[in-house]
Amino acid sequence: MAYQNAMAVLMSTAMSGLRERQKSRRANEILDAAQDLFRGQSLDAVSVEAIAGQAEVSAVTVYNYFGSRDGLIHALGVRHHKLVEKARRPLLEDPPADPFAAMDGYIDMTFDQALDVMDRPAWRQITAVNMAPGIADAMRVDIDGMVRRQIEKLVGRLIERGALREDAQKGDLAEMVWAVIDFHFYRMIKDARLTPARAKAKAKRQLAVLIRSHLAGELAAGDSKPV
């Protein structure tokens, strides 16, 4: 009897894991379909029914997974940031000794990785949805918090390595770095006349001003980063 009970538990656990994997795969298939349809056209022109058709599921299934159209758009932004966090891990855990190079690298990743997967109109919609009330609390993820934690990790590593002063307030400095990057990213997705290269260059110059006042030791004495 004990053997049968143990086998029943094992089978139940295996089935539960299989269902979760199937659910995750189906959710990603729906998000892939939405991302393909959103590329190159207004998100307002893409209906839930069109996304469902592309993913070969019913519209009801889309609503069951994401709650609403806004929930699906929010999930696209969340998925992107989870994926790029893995790609950024080498930089966050082992940044260049030069803090300017580390920040420049993070800026390049932020802009380039975002525009590799979706265009500016799509990011405008994701940004708007993130601040909208139409997403169920259970499905809402703090995307800004995800990015701030990455930057705080990068700043912390630079402090540990002696590139930035030990008395630098890691949380406050990370918040200011995030604010500069965030500002120029949203300026770029809002203004079609502003090229990504110009937006990145402006963010890098302003972060250089910010970081310069927190340099440690020989870096502070020999700083040559242009303003």
Tens-of-pLDDT digits for all 227 residues of the chain? 554 555 454 455 554 566 678 888 999 999 999 998 887 677 778 899 999 999 999 999 999 999 988 899 999 999 999 999 999 999 999 999 999 999 999 999 999 999 998 889 889 888 888 777 666 666 677 888 999 999 999 999 999 999 999 888 899 999 999 999 999 999 999 998 999 999 999 999 999 999 999 998 666 655 555 44
Q: Is the pTM above the cut of 0.75?
A: yes
How many whole angstroms from its chain centre is CA 7?
41
**pLDDT tens digits along 4-15:** 555 454 455 554
- Positive or negative, the CA dihedral 151, 140, 50, 31 is positive
Q: Is residue 30 part of a domain?
A: yes
Are 6 and 87 in the same domain?
Answer: no
Query: Given 14, 45, 66, which residue is the final one in a domain?
Result: 66
> What does the pLDDT look like over 64-91, one tens digit per residue?
999 988 899 999 999 999 999 999 999 9
Q: What pLDDT sits at residue 20?
A: 79
Answer yes or no: do 208 and 161 share one domain: yes
Which residues, at least 6 apart from 2, have a Cβ–Cβ distance to it below 8 Å? none
What Cα–Cα distance (Å) separates residue 184 from each residue in 73, 86, 91, 150, 165?
22, 23, 21, 18, 26
Question: Do 209 and 129 have their domain in common?
Answer: yes
**Nearest-angstrom CA–CA distance, 175 and 170:** 9
Residue 77's Cβ-count burial label (10 Å; 0-12, 13-18, 19+) is: buried
- Whole-angstrom Cα distance, residue 174 to residue 110? 15
DSSP 141: -
Query: For the domain that residue 58 is a member of, what is the CATH number?
Result: 1.10.10.60
10 Å Cβ neighbour count for 55? 22
- The number of distinct structural domains making up the chain is 2
What CA–CA distance (Å, rounded) separates 185 from 27? Answer: 28
